[in-house]
Amino acid sequence: MDENPDLTALKARLEEQEAAYASALSALDALAAFPLPFERLPELPQQLARLNALCQPTPPPHLGGLWAPLKRRLWAWLAPTLGRSAEFDATLIQFLNGYVVETSRALGHLRNLAAALIRYLQQVQPLMDLRDRAASGLATTRAELILEAFDRRQESLARRLDGLLALKDRLETVAEEARAVRATLAAGAPAPAVAEAARSAAEDSVYTAFENRFRGSPAEVRERLADYADLFQGLAPVVDLGCGRGEFLELLREQRIEARGVESNAAAVLECRSKGLQVSQGDLLATMAAQGAASLGGVFAAQVAEHLPPAVLQSLLRQAHRVLRPGGLLLLETVNPRSVLAFLEIYNRDLTHERPLHPETLRFLAAAAGFAEVRIEMRSPVDAATRLREVPREGLPEAVAEVLNENLARLNALIYGPQEYALIARR
């Protein structure tokens, strides 16, 4: 993953400032090592002592003897000059003494100050590092507290959502019961029929609500089944086995293809009849057995075959072959158990499923029932965003990337294969 450009610039600036800090510390350390005057000139104390000795006042000369008057006169003339020179020398020596001493003291203080500054700067960096680590720790703790609070909030919302979903499912079930009773009353049924309809609706409404929740809305089911209707052009009449809420029958009606349905769920039957669809309530196999030979052009069943025990499924295939005229079409849509996602998320969710049907198994059973032209069509592919992504080839040996991506393709086919398939068989 590419790093944030702002973060990259910040890191570069930090490295630049750290390098400048190290350079300044080294330069200061070098400057703090300057020597004091007495250290650079070890002979300076002796020179100062010699100057102090030389600047002592000159004693008056001996003024006796033959030339005494002349000497006294000469001394009287030279004494003031010599006195001023001695005073000047004494003052100069005092100045030099004080200057050298104070300069040495000032330079000593300056060197101590530089040493103290270096020690301070050497302590600043660990202190800054400690502060950064503390700030990072506080930020991490703060983030953990925020995440913990968010998790608690999310759990609370999830519990509320679960409660709302449970309430929604219950309301859907009650609504299905009320819909069935209203439809029976609207049909003018006698009181015993109304009571029977209420009892039957109470039994079937749970599964109807289940289908409403997990199979999708009528509009979504119609969209998934829409392209099947074109296959039945010119093949009327068509029977929709387990027609549910009648979505496929509505599609056939829109294309003016004669069709009727059979459904065991009383609530679904009443809903279909409220839409003006020709639907009877009963057993699928019994309904097929009651049809005349070669009397139908098409037999359709979506998400039905997986609900049937093997013996019933084989009988249904034989009856479909019997009732279809030559060229007639049998189309069975079911869950694809070769897709791990479909098996876990679709097939296992419905408790009324009898057993999964492998595409090759259903193809074989159809051929064994007498159908000459049999093929399998995969349906409902998984969204590409859900599937495993290929490994980028950059930075990897070509052979390694190829093997990894080949294995990922196999895993995608196994885990995220098409969720449904259709058996399409011709009489």
pLDDT, tens digit, for every residue of 397-412?
888 889 999 999 999 9
**Structure-model confidence comparison of residues 215 and 276, the more confident one:** 276
pLDDT in the model for residue 250: 96
**Cβ(229)–Cβ(250) below 8 Å:** no
pLDDT at 261: 96
pLDDT(218) > 80: yes
**Full residue range of the structural domain in which residue 256 is found:** 216-426
Strand, coil or helix: 190:
coil
Who has greater pLDDT, 174 or 233?
233
Three-state DSSP state, 238:
strand
Q: Residue 305: pLDDT band by 50, 70, 90 thresholds?
A: very high
CB 249 within 8 A of CB 259: yes
Q: Which residue has the higher pLDDT, 375 or 352?
A: 375
pLDDT at 34 over 70: no
Residue 296 lies in a domain: yes
Statement: residue 114 has pLDDT above 90:
no
- For 215-265, where are the alpha helices, taking DSSP H only? 218-229, 247-254
Of 27, 42, 33, 25, the C-alpha closest to 111 is 33
| Mean pLDDT, residues 176-196 taken together | 61
Residue 5 clears pLDDT 60, i.e. is over it = yes
E strand map for 148-258: 238-241
Asked whether the predicted pLDDT for residue 185 surpasses 80, the reply is: no
Burial class (CB in 10 A: 0-12, 13-18, 19+), 377: middle
Q: Residue 364 falls within a domain, yes or no?
A: yes
Strand partners of residue 161? none
Residue length, the chain?
427
Does residue 358 register a pLDDT over 80? yes
**Number of domain units in the chain:** 1
Residue 324 CA to residue 198 CA, distance in Å, equals: 36
The helix/strand/coil state of 422 is strand
Residue 197 belongs to some domain of the structure: no
Among the listed residues 347, 342, 379, 374, the one whose alpha carbon sits nearest the alpha carbon of residue 361? 374
- Decide: helix, strand or coil at residue 427: coil
Higher per-residue pLDDT: 281 or 185: 281
Residue at 47 is within a domain: no
Say if residue 40's pLDDT is above 90.
no
pLDDT interval class at 319 (50, 70, 90): very high
pLDDT tier for residue 241 given thresholds of 50, 70 and 90? very high
**What is the band of 426 on the pLDDT scale with cuts at 50, 70, 90?**
very high
Of residues 82 and 239, the one with the higher pLDDT is 239
Q: Which token pair is 66?
A: 């033959």
Mean of the per-residue pLDDT values for the chain? 80
Note whether residue 164 is domain-resident: no
More confident residue, 63 or 215: 215
Strands (E), 373-419: 373-379
Neighbouring CB atoms inside 10 A of 171's CB total: 11
Average pLDDT in the 298-306 region?
A: 95
Q: Could you give the percent of the chain with pLDDT greater than 70?
A: 69
**What is the rounded CA–CA span in Å between residue 32 and residue 129?**
26
Q: Is 215 helix (H, G, I), strand (E, B) or coil?
A: coil
pLDDT at 65: 65
pLDDT of residue 14: 76
Higher-scoring residue by pLDDT: 152, 332: 332
Q: Higher confidence at residue 183 or residue 295?
A: 295
Specify the pLDDT at position 166. Answer: 57
Highest mean pLDDT (candidates 157-161, 168-172, 241-245): 241-245
What is the reported pLDDT for 277? 95
Residue 308 has pLDDT above 80, yes or no: yes
CATH code of the domain containing 389: 3.40.50.150
Mean pLDDT calculated for residue range 216-245: 92
Give domain status of residue 114, yes or no. Answer: no
Q: Please report which confidence band the pLDDT of residue 131 belongs to, taking 50, 70 and 90 as the band edges.
A: low
Residue 130 has pLDDT above 70, yes or no: no
**What's the CA gap between 84 and 226, in Å, rounded?**
129
Given this model, what pLDDT does residue 175 score? 64
Domain contains 240 = yes
pLDDT at position 84 is 64
Residue 254 lies in a domain: yes
Beta bridge partners of 332: 301, 423
Question: What per-residue confidence (pLDDT) applies to 20?
Answer: 78
